[in-house]
Each structure stands twice: as structure tokens, then as C-alpha cells.
Amino acid sequence: MTTPLDLFPITTRVDAGGRLWLGGCLAGDLAREFGTPLYVYDAETLRARMREARSALEGYPGPHRLAYAGKAFLCLGLAQILQCEGLDLDVTSAGEMAVARAAGFAPQRVHLHGNSKSTAELSEALDWGIGTIVVDNLHELELLRRLTAGRSARQRVWLRVAPGIDVHTHPHRKTGLLDSKFGFTLETGAAADALRQALAMAGLQVVGLHAHIGSQVFQPEPFARATALLLDLAASVGFAPQELSPGGGWGAATSPEEADLPLAAYGEAIARAAVERCARHRLPLPTLVIELGRAIVGPAGVALYRVRSRKEIPGGRTYLCLDGGMGDNIRPALYGARYTALAADRAAAAPEEVVTLAGRFCESGDIIARDVPLPRLEAEDLIAVPRAGAYCLAMSSNYNLVPRPAVVIVRDGKAVLLQRRETAADLLARDLPLPPDWSP
């Protein structure tokens, strides 16, 4: 059975006094030094997850590459680590591209995704010499035809295909279905038409096909199907892809009710399908590119919160109200995601009560975790929420004009600030006063 402690980063330990250590740093010290809420990333876990992801395709006899999906969480320091580890980077906006550039990412190793890229984003990507643009729709194809006219180098592109595969995940995270805003639909023939059109465009070099069928998926089978369908599509058009990307989306548990599966299961399913289909269609083995976000950063991140108050409802719930919440982690409210927690200074203590960890934001749905067994905690006690590394800060907001948390990375007893806490001055920085001649 998974325990809450199992969900913490690999360097986590609980000392004889019941205190939680992350990356050789005492959680309590981190909270005192950097304040709370605080997001702590464990460098060792990050590295281990990258290596496990890379080896997921080890059994594939052709070439393969690992990309990190920046949307799961991206900041300058993380981008520098990804760059050093030799991962490719998948970006979805000019903002993510700016972070990649600032980190010194080689443009050839960056892919630009998105169903609604702007002309400015596409132009910027072309000017930078971005490795791959993942074309999502006909409008974008036409834009690219115009933007690449007169350029000396042809732009490498993949086509994003919606392969009509249903996966077992929250409806908001299903992306490969017929009724999806993403990609060229396979069933209607739109994908084959778009592929023919793109192949005929002088400014483009179509090097591959891509599908991303969903996220937080725990079964390998749908990824094998997506891989097979992409190769069937290529063969039907007489196109031999140099590269093939069945996306990312491999799940990572966030609570003891879920179970992690090895990344190898995902990689093996994709590799097997690619080998089988290429043999069937007499296609050379393409370079397989997987682009994982959650499975890499999710397990590396821990959120630290302070309890601000208790509310006990006789005959009902006991709430612990925290100093963070949906502003830094909207996933429970948006997807019903389940998290768990430990008391950072009494991590070995037997549970004394079952509590609901409520956020500080003005919305009843602002709950970080329900029904968490914990020792009795009071105001100022420290709570540690594991598996908070993916899609928490990446989807953070300034609701209630609450500044966003700081981010640190820990290793061998050392903590380094990656993102400072936002301040009220940051929040006001974009605002302008009304001019004197404006009569309200």
C-alpha cells in the first residue's frame, strides 16, 4: 500500500524527532528562510525521473529522444537543468520560448506547440531557428506558407493529429478525440489532406507526425494505438516520417489512492507499436520523441504551507485553513485531483484526526486535500504536500491579488532560490493610475 511518505521525493527522510528533510534540508528551516507557501523541488528526484524517462525507450531499436513539456512547470533554473541533461523542450507560447532562450537552449532542440499560435509567435520561432513547429490546423499551415516564403531554410514541422482515441482521464485532459480543439482529425480525412498539403509546401519540411491523446493517463495501450494510427496515416499518404511523437501524458500519482506505473510500460508500448507498424508498412524506423511533463516534475515538487487556523464543525468536518490554496494549486478544484499531506515537524506521529486542508482564497471549492489523516495541528504548524511539482505553479493565478509563492531547489543540504516570492509591488507593476483629466 502506498503511504503519504512514499509520494515524497527520493531524498526525503524523517529524523528521530519526526522532522521532515528534503534534499538534505530541514523542511522547517526552508519554510523559515524562504517563507510559505513554498514550492521545493528536489534535484535528485528530477534527475532520476529524467533518466527513467530517457530509458523508457531503451528497447526501441531506432533512435529516440526525450522532450520535457514546459507547460507542466518552467522557470529559468529548471530550463538550465533540462538543457544540461540533454532533453529537448516543448514550448507552447512566446513566454515559454523566452525562458528557453534565456536558459541558452539550442533552438534546434525546441518544439513549438499550440492550437492557437499567433503570427508574432510563429515569426519569432522562425527567426530564432526553432527546431520544430507542430502545426495544429489549416489556418496555421497557411500562415506558415506565407511566413516562410522567401526564407532560405525550410522550416521543419510535425503535423498534430487527433487520432480519435479515448483515454481514461478527466474530460478536461482528453485531447485526442474527434470532438477536440487540437489537431487534424484522423477519422474525417482532414489529417491526410493536411499532410498532403504540407508536403507540397516549398517553405516547409514535414519531418514527422505528432499526437497527444491526454494527460494523467495510467494505461500504456492508448499510446500504442496512437503510435500505430500515426504510422497508418503516414503509410496511407506514402510519407515516411523521420520523426514520430506520440506525445506525453504518462500519469504520476498524487495521492495514496493512485498508483504509479513504471515509465518503461509507456515506452515499451510505444516502441512495440512503432516496430510492428513500420514492418507492416515497410517504413524505416523513425526517431521516436516522447514529451513528458508531469512524470518528470510532478514527483520532484513538494508544497509547504503553514496552518493559519482550525475550524471544527461539531458533527462535521475539521478544516485546517492554510496560507496558500487554489492560487498556487487549482488542480483539486478544476479536476477533482486528490492530494495528501504530512505534518512537516511531526511526520512520524500517528494520525489523531481526519481533516480537510482548505485554501485561503475566497471560494468554497478552494480545497487542497480532503480527508487527510494527521496528528492534531494548530496555527503555525507546517504542512507538506507531496507530488506538487506539475501543473500547480504552472497554472497559478493572482486571484484575490495574493502574490505567488517562491520556488527553491534542494540538493545535498543546500537550497537555492529559483523564483522569489511575488510582492505587492509586482502585482501593481502593470497598473496605471487614471489620468487627472479622467472624470469618474
Q: Active-site positions?
A: 362
- Applying CB under 6 A, among 96, 140, 291, 366 the residue interacting with ligand LLP is 291
Question: Cα-flanking dihedrals φ and ψ of residue 355, to 5°?
Answer: -125, 165
Shortest Å, Cβ 279 to ligand LLP: 27
User: What residues contact 425, with CB distance under 8 A and at least 6 apart?
Assistant: none
Based on the shown chain and the rule CB under 6 A, indicate whether residue 294 belongs to the binding site for ligand LLP.
Answer: yes
For 286-314, b where at least 16 C-beta lie within 10 A, e where not — what string?
bbbbbbbbbbbbbbbbbbbbbbbebeeee
Rounded Cα distance between 173 and 235, Å, is 29
**Span 88-117, contacts to ligand LLP by CB under 6 A:** 90, 113
Shortest Å, Cβ 183 to ligand LLP: 9
Based on the shown chain and the rule CB under 6 A, indicate whether residue 266 belongs to the binding site for ligand LLP.
Answer: no
Shortest Å, Cβ 298 to ligand LLP: 8
Based on the shown chain and the rule CB under 6 A, indicate whether residue 137 belongs to the binding site for ligand LLP.
Answer: no
Rounded Cα distance between 322 and 40, Å, is 17
Residue keyed to cell 540538493: 411
- Applying CB under 6 A, among 154, 173, 310, 376 the residue interacting with ligand LLP is 173
Nearest to 278 by CA among 62, 58, 47, 16: 62
Rounded Cα distance between 231 and 233, Å, is 5
Shortest Å, Cβ 295 to ligand LLP: 6
Based on the shown chain and the rule CB under 6 A, indicate whether residue 212 belongs to the binding site for ligand LLP.
Answer: yes
**Span 363-402, contacts to ligand LLP by CB under 6 A:** 391, 395
Is 75 or 415 the residue whose CB approaches ligand LLP more closely?
Answer: 75
Cell numbers for 292, please give them.
513528458
Shortest Å, Cβ 21 to ligand LLP: 28
- Applying CB under 6 A, among 19, 64, 117, 331 the residue interacting with ligand LLP is 331
The separation between CA 228 and the C-alpha centre of its own chain, rounded to angstroms, equals 25
Based on the shown chain and the rule CB under 6 A, indicate whether residue 131 belongs to the binding site for ligand LLP.
Answer: no
Based on the shown chain and the rule CB under 6 A, indicate whether residue 78 belongs to the binding site for ligand LLP.
Answer: no
Rounded Cα distance between 36 and 33, Å, is 9
Based on the shown chain and the rule CB under 6 A, indicate whether residue 292 belongs to the binding site for ligand LLP.
Answer: yes
Is 13 or 181 the residue whose CB approaches ligand LLP more closely?
Answer: 181
Give Cα separations from 341 to 261, 302, 336 (angstroms).
Answer: 21, 10, 16
Nearest to 169 by CA among 242, 248, 103: 248
Total residues at the site for ligand LLP (CB under 6 A)? 22
Is 74 or 343 the residue whose CB approaches ligand LLP more closely?
Answer: 74
**Site string (271-290) toward ligand LLP, x via CB under 6 A:** --------------------
Contact 259, 253 (CB under 8 A): yes
Based on the shown chain and the rule CB under 6 A, indicate whether residue 70 belongs to the binding site for ligand LLP.
Answer: no
Based on the shown chain and the rule CB under 6 A, indicate whether residue 65 belongs to the binding site for ligand LLP.
Answer: no
Nearest to 347 by CA among 302, 316, 300, 313: 302
Binding interface with ligand LLP (CB under 6 A) = 69, 71-72, 90, 113, 173, 212, 215-216, 247-250, 291-295, 331, 335, 391, 395
